[in-house]
Chains A and B, each alone.
Chain A
Amino acid sequence: MNSNALCFGADCPATGLPCRVDVTPIGIAVRFEDRSAAQDDAEAVPFDRLSLSAGGLDHDQLVVRYGSEPDARVLYVNDPAVIHALRGTAPNFVTGELDAAASMVRRKRRTRRISWIAVGALLLSLGTVLWFGSDLVVNLAVDRIPLEWEQKLGEAAYHDFLGRQTVIKEGPAVDAVGEMTRRLTDQIPDDPYRFEVTVVRSDVVNAFALPGGYVVVFTGLLQKAESGEEVAGVLSHEFNHVLRRHGLERVVKQVGLMTALSILLGDQQGLIGLTRQIGGELLTLKFGRAQETEADVTGLRLLHRAKIDSNGLVRFFERMAEQQHEPVEMLSTHPMSAARVERLKAEAAALPRQVVEPFTFDWKQVQGSLNVSR
């Protein structure tokens, strides 16, 4: 005998008694597995004594109830053949119960499906918001970082770097860079930073700015530049990285969105962790393309306000773009491209014409002083 159901009742074990349910023209016949052949008198239950519903953990079983206490029986049928047979032979009041149970199961399953779809959609939209909103979160976090923190962060990296370098403390080059810095910073309205520019002896053609307004110019850049205006152009570009807090943005992005969120939620521990984590990484920080463009454009406008010939910046970048194939460090941290130069030219052309005020120093003399002191 192949059992297809479990029978529960007062005299059955808790796990149910295996039994076989067959549909007859007048009702159902229930046979139990463990009865001897002599006792094999099937329990016949007419249709009008049956009550049908869906049951079990997932409502995937047909529950057939009959009899009254204490002899009430509950059958759990997990056999589609029994359901088909019932549909074919049972009178309307039985199939009606079957239909009601089936529609209840469908309703339950639909509710479950909808709730899962809703959760999926929620997760998806949350992911989308985080993905596209990460810049927003980073910017909000950067806005919340107090200036003192930014300065401490930059200062630590600055002194750490200078300690390992040959700093040029005086001379025509330092004076010239000082003059450029003054001319530029005088034109920054409500400048919260105290810009500090140091000339470092190195053949590297580069300059970089740390958060907080700490700028380093290498003698390599001074020697490669053909005029003071070119160096002033690079300085103006670097100053604008600081003013726009580009360095902090990169740092926050690098340490991760979670830190950004914790800063946003006012967790000062996040900031302490941040300073620890980045250490010297500040020096190798690379800016994004959008940040470079922003610093180019705002740098150009600052030059214009300071009445410094903005063609210097354009010319310098143009020469750098032509030397793309040469191993110049400037290019690795400030990737040049013809498109970038073209954009700068267009921006420069759009600015109103003005009379430029030349610097007081003689550029050839400044460059000469670098060779002499070597």
Chain B
Amino acid sequence: MKSEILYPGAFPMVRVELSAGETIKAESGAMVASSPTIDVESKMEGGFLGALSRKFLTGEKFFFQTLRASRGPGDVLLAPTVPGEIVVIELDGLNEYLVQKDGFLAGAETVKIDSQMQSLSRGLLGGEGFFILKLSGRGTLILNSFGAIHRIELKPDQEYIVDNSHLVAWSATTSYHVERAAAGWVASFTSGEGFVCRFQGPGVVYIQSRNPGGFGHWIRQFIPVSE
């Protein structure tokens, strides 16, 4: 499987080349175009209960689509729903990533997808909800963000602070806890940050340059209210 990001920037697509018999799972609705040799199947990743828990717990889609090069090699064009960059990560079987629910775009068949419960404080205040996706295994993993994607590299014990709604993915070797942005409660909220995540290395953290919730809030003021 080879992948290439087309039109990098706000409105990218990813082109995935599949050799005969190879498959890729993608978020439901992610396929834009494909060679005629590719078959689209719908699959409940992790079985019915797994799909159910993913749907209700993480808010992710119930079905993933599986794109299979069943009639010879071909390529697939995939794109996310929201404007924003795409990043390709090669999983080595050792590094595992935790991804907030909207961050997963596609992954090789050998990539394992689980939903994982966060701790109470992270779930309540971390901005990703109580359940996130845990991606492990080997192979290509394709993530998408809202806005540009930025990679932060952390050495052992190095710390970095990320606003809670800008997280896309982070490696399982990092650790984080949620804390107030400023020393006082009032300052935390009047500064507009509220809660932030204090990450500790080693590992990498992918963040997005725009906050989807903040964007929604901003755009709401322009939507005419009908009686």
Contacts and interface: CB of A to CB of B under 8 A. Distances in A.
A57 B204 contact: no
A165 interface: no
B172 interface: yes
A349 to B, nearest CB: 58
Interface stretch (A7-15, A36-44, A216-224, A279-287): A7-15
A6 B173 contact: yes
Contacts of A76: 173, 202
Given A8-B201, A14-B154, A57 B172 contact: yes
B71 interface: no
A65 B92 CA distance: 22
Contacts of A58: 172
A56 B171 CA distance: 9
Interface in A1-21: 3-6, 8-10, 13-16, 18
Contacts of B81: none
A16 B94 contact: yes
A9 B156 contact: yes
B37 interface: no
A8 B94 contact: no
Interface in B201-219: 201-204
A57 B98 contact: yes
Contact of B94 (A3, A74, A115): A3
B34 interface: no
Contacts of B41: none
A110 interface: no
Interface in B160-181: 170-176
Nearest to A9: B156
A115 B120 contact: yes
Interface string B117-142: 00110000000000000000000000
Interface in B80-135: 92-95, 98, 119-120
Contacts of A3: 92-94
A: interface residue count bin: 20 to 34
Contacts of A4: 94
B155 A14 contact: yes
Contacts of A18: 92-94
A8 B120 contact: no
Contact of B173 (A16, A65, A119): A16
Given A14-B154, A14-B202, A15-B204, A56 B94 contact: no
Given A8-B201, A57-B175, A119-B120, A74 B98 contact: no
A116 interface: yes
Contacts of B39: none
B153 interface: yes
B175 A55 contact: yes
B199 to A, nearest CB: 10
Nearest to A6: B94
A78 interface: yes
Nearest to B92: A18
Given A14-B154, A14-B155, A116-B120, A5 B172 contact: no
A61 B174 CA distance: 11
A339 B96 CA distance: 69
B92 A57 contact: no
A50 B220 CA distance: 56
B119 A14 contact: no
Given A57-B172, A112-B120, A74 B202 contact: yes
8 contacts: A6-B95, A8-B155, A8-B173, A15-B92, A16-B203, A59-B175, A61-B172, A112-B120
A-B pairs, top 3 by smallest CB distance, nearest first, are: A14-B153, A8-B202, A74-B156
Interface of A: 3-6, 8-10, 13-16, 18, 55-59, 61, 65, 72, 74, 76, 78, 112, 115-116, 119
